[in-house]
């Protein structure tokens, strides 16, 4: 059984850990508000970009369609982009995204497809490199920049476009965590190439435009920008989801540490009381013997 000194040391250790988790909870809460605003502000832009592309794509047919929109016509080479966090202490945030990506990767491998992987974030790099080895072709670390922005998404989009143009990928999919609320982040898979075209909504189904230059020329310029926009929106969703998940995880850890401190303190007091009682009995017995 542990001595009183060992129990005091353990209680002190748990209290120190509780201070750390509480501080991390407060930091995550402070960063969450700004990250959530950035993610929410990026959604209308990404949605409007997709709507414009859908409108342009309606006037493009056959061989005139840009390759990023029409694809290569094949479905053999797949590029999977997995975006997670660089840091941990956020519960199952990164693991949930990686799990969704793994299910897709294993399904493609079982079908005999050629799969290559781009990892965004150290957490995805560590796990995917261990699982798939040489299939991991490149890693991007978001911690290289102080904030998530175009400078984070642009290199990823350029690499995807380069691999597609070089014939290294027919289909590109992105896996990330969509931010719903502080306690809910949904692992999501989105197809980047060929670009998914939204169906016409009631707002724009009857809208007719004449474009100058032609739809094909505009799409040639717009599609690479849309690729960057979709990746940026996903990274911002990831960032908000990470801080939300970390805040919840650290809040749970702080409460668990408090419960453990109470339990250990109770054990310590009982053991100390028993020890004092034993000493008193020994003193009384000695006095009576004299």
pLDDT tens for each residue of 270-285: 999 988 898 888 888 8
What is the number of domains present in the chain? 1
φ/ψ of 162, rounded to 5, equals -65, -45
Confidence of residue 206 (pLDDT cuts 50, 70, 90): very low
Flag whether 78 is in a domain. yes
What pLDDT is recorded for position 39? 92
Q: What is the pTM of this model?
A: 0.84
pLDDT per residue over 145-163, tens digit each? Answer: 678 888 899 999 999 999 9
176: closest CA among 106, 108, 231?
231
Report if residue 118 sits inside a domain.
Answer: yes
In a domain, 28, yes or no: no
The number of beta carbons lying within 10 Å of the beta carbon of residue 65 is: 16
Cβ neighbours of residue 187 closer than 8 Å, sequence gap 6 or more: 96, 97, 99, 100, 175, 176, 177, 178
* Distance of alpha carbon 224 from alpha carbon 194, whole angstroms: 11
User: Is residue 117 included in any domain, yes or no?
Assistant: yes
Average pLDDT of the chain? 88
Range of the domain at 55: 41-200+207-245
Q: For residue 272, what are the CA distances in angstroms to 126, 216, 254?
A: 47, 82, 26
Residue 245: the pLDDT is 94
DSSP state of 199: P
In angstroms, what CA-CA distances link 166 with 77, 157, 216? Answer: 12, 14, 21
The angle formed by the CA atoms of residues 201, 207 and 209, to the nearest 5 degrees, is: 135
Q: Is residue 172 situated within a structural domain?
A: yes
Report the alpha-carbon distance of residue 249 to residue 256 in Å, rounded. Answer: 10
Cα gap 256→182, rounded to integer Å: 19
Q: Say which CATH number the domain at 48 has.
A: 3.40.1380.10
In the sheet where 114-120 sits, what is the strand order? 136-140, 114-120, 77-83, 171-181, 184-193
Whether 3 is in a domain gets the answer: no
Least confident stretch, 7-16, 211-220, 221-230, 254-263:
211-220
Q: Which residues pair with 138 in a beta bridge?
A: 118
CA gap 122, 202 in Å, rounded: 42
Q: Are 244 and 185 in contact (CB under 8 A)?
A: yes
CB contact burial 266-289 (16+ within 10 A = b; e otherwise): eebeeeeeeeeeeeeeeeeeeeee
Residue 147 lies in a domain: yes
Which residues are within 8 A (CB) of 151 and not within 5 positions of it... i.e. 6 or more apart? 145
Out of 48-52, 94-98, 113-117, least confident range:
48-52
For residue 59, what pLDDT band results from cuts at 50, 70 and 90?
confident
Please provide residue 87's backbone torsions phi and psi, each rounded to the nearest 5 degrees: -115, 165
How far is CA 172 from each of CA 7, 91, 211, 228, 239, rounded to the nearest angstrom? Answer: 55, 28, 29, 13, 22
At residue 229, the pLDDT reads 92
Q: Report the C-alpha gap between 178 and 149 in whole angstroms.
A: 17
The answer to whether residue 252 sits within a structural domain is: no
């Amino acid at each position: 059984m542990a001595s009183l000194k060992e129990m005091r040391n353990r209680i002190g250790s748990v209290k120190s850990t509780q201070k750390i988790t509480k501080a991390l909870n407060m930091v995550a809460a402070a960063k969450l508000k700004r990250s959530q605003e950035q993610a929410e502000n990026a959604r209308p832009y990404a949605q409007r970009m997709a709507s414009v592309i859908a409108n342009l794509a309606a006037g493009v047919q056959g061989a005139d369609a840009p390759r990023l929109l029409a694809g290569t016509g094949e479905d053999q080479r797949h590029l999977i982009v997995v975006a997670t966090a660089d840091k941990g202490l956020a519960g199952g945030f990164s693991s949930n995204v990686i799990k969704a990506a793994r299910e897709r990767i294993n399904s493609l491998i079982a079908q005999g497809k050629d799969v290559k992987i781009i990892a965004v974030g150290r957490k995805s790099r560590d796990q995917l490199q261990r699982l798939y080895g040489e299939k991991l072709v490149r890693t991007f670390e978001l911690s290289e920049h102080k904030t998530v922005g175009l400078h984070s998404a642009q290199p990823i989009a350029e690499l995807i476009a380069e691999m597609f143009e070089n014939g290294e990928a027919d289909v590109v999919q992105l896996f990330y965590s969509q931010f719903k609320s502080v306690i809910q982040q949904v692992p999501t898979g989105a197809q980047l190439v060929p670009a998914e075209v939204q169906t016409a909504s009631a707002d724009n189904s009857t809208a007719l435009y004449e474009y100058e230059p032609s739809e094909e020329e505009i799409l040639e310029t717009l599609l690479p920008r849309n690729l960057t926009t979709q990746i940026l929106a996903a990274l911002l969703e990831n960032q908000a989801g990470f801080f939300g998940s970390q805040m919840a995880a650290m809040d749970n850890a702080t409460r668990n540490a408090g419960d453990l401190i109470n339990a250990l303190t109770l054990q310590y007091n009982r053991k100390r009381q028993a020890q004092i009682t034993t000493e008193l009995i020994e003193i009384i017995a000695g006095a009576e013997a004299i």
